[in-house]
């Protein structure tokens, strides 16, 4: 899978060599898709280009031009690489060269594959056959969608004769999320066209969202590619925490709570989303703010191994300094022309906390580090 922005492009290569590419979007955007058949040799050559780059899994490397999100299933498992503006990890010169070379291959019309690697010599139209219609409903909260049109949406009669309350089937939603219910159905292209045309008659501009005194609904009509069954729930079952798992009770938001930030920054950050976390041997949790992210992870490491753990996160150009008696690590993203976000890390084994402000100078980083150190010493 390759995702490219500017203009957006999705490209999928399946195990049997079937390749499709196109611009995703809602029905109103009329995405155009193309198809092409690749020979077995071509599939292996394309995967070989990803593997030969030597770029490590879960890495973000700057490249010129549009962004590429690459996922490839290799003999060693899935490799996920982001080629774009970079994040808070600084790439080495070798990684930059490898990323530029791989990006050139992926942007090539033939994906760097010689003619013998293709069963089809040219791209041809790919007619999308299935579309997903998802209706998301919320109760109350008049400000949930500021662009929603005021309309008696429960009385709508949809093209299939149902209403927004009875369309398709109900699918689970995330508890505590903005939506109270979601309903979904899979339609043919002709049915989806009729659905989109109907929604267009309900309003002239903006998103397909409607509300009244009871709440509202938003409509999404999206193409379904061959590998997607459609109507998947966005509510994932919370995995049980394995016994002895270090992620248990790890609260990233607690490291820099709002009250502490108010004492440090002239314009304190405010939480943007709930904490996210992954479970595993160690694991990590993140807390997202309007202007930054706070990552907290736990590792089975000692003090002497902390630098190695930070090097994996920060990459090339890592430097360290002592603040209030603690070692603080800085990435190299304050340099002129840097394409990544400044970040600091403090190791307090078995914790590793990383703070990534989206816009910061050295004085802000040091102030945040001092505040974090004070917080760590108190807990």
Question: What is the per-residue pLDDT for 366?
Answer: 92
CA 365 to CA 320: how far, in whole Å?
A: 12
Question: What is the per-residue pLDDT for 240?
Answer: 42
Positions in the chain short of pLDDT 70: 1-9, 24-31, 141-146, 176, 204-206, 234-249, 272-283, 299-304, 349-350, 379
CA 32 to CA 178: how far, in whole Å?
A: 32
pLDDT single digits (tens) 183-202: 999 999 899 989 988 988 88
Pairing mode of beta strands 9-13, 18-22: antiparallel
Determine contact, residues 271/264, Cβ cutoff 8 Å: no
pLDDT single digits (tens) 143-190: 656 678 888 999 999 999 999 999 999 998 877 677 889 999 999 989
Question: What is the per-residue pLDDT for 204?
Answer: 54
Question: What is the per-residue pLDDT for 182?
Answer: 94
45-76: burial string, b at 16+ Cβ within 10 Å, e else: bbbebbeebebeeebbbbbeebbbbbebeeee
Question: What is the per-residue pLDDT for 53?
Answer: 93
CA 239 to CA 278: how far, in whole Å?
A: 9
Question: What is the per-residue pLDDT for 379?
Answer: 59
């Amino acid at each position: 899978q390759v995702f490219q922005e500017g203009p957006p492009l999705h490209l999928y290569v399946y195990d049997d060599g079937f390749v499709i590419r196109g611009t995703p979007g809602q029905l109103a955007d009329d995405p155009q898709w193309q198809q092409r058949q690749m020979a077995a040799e071509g599939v292996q050559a394309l995967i070989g280009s990803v593997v030969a780059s030597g770029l490590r899994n879960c890495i973000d490397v700057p490249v010129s031009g549009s962004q590429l999100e690459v996922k490839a299933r290799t003999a060693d498992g899935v490799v996920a690489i982001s080629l774009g503006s970079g994040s808070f990890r600084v790439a080495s010169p070798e990684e930059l060269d490898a990323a530029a070379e791989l990006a050139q291959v992926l942007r090539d019309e033939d994906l760097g594959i010689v003619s013998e690697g293709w069963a089809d010599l040219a791209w041809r139209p790919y007619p999308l056959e299935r579309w997903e219609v998802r209706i998301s409903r919320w109760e109350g909260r008049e400000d949930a969608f500021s662009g929603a049109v005021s309309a008696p949406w429960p009385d709508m009669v949809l093209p299939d004769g149902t209403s927004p309350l009875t369309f398709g089937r109900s699918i689970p939603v995330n508890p505590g999320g903005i939506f109270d219910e979601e309903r979904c159905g899979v339609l043919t292209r002709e049915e989806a066209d009729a659905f989109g045309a109907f929604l267009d008659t309900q309003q002239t501009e903006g998103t397909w969202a409607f509300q009244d005194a009871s709440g509202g609904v938003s409509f999404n009509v999206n193409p379904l590619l061959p590998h997607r069954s459609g109507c998947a729930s966005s509510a994932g079952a919370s995995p049980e925490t394995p016994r002895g798992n270090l992620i248990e009770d790890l609260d990233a938001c607690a490291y820099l709570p709002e009250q502490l930030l108010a004492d440090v920054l002239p314009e304190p950050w405010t939480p943007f989303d709930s904490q996210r976390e992954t479970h595993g041997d160690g694991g990590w949790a993140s807390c997202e703010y309007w202007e930054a992210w706070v990552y907290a992870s736990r590792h089975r490491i000692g003090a002497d191994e902390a630098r190695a753990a930070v090097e994996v996160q920060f990459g090339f150009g890592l430097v360290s300094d002592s603040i209030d008696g603690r070692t603080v690590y800085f990435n190299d993203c304050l340099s002129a022309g840097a394409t990544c976000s400044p970040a600091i890390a403090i190791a307090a084994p078995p914790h590793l906390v990383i703070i990534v402000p989206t816009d910061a100078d050295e004085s802000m980083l040091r102030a945040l580090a001092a505040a974090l150190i004070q917080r760590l010493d108190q807990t």
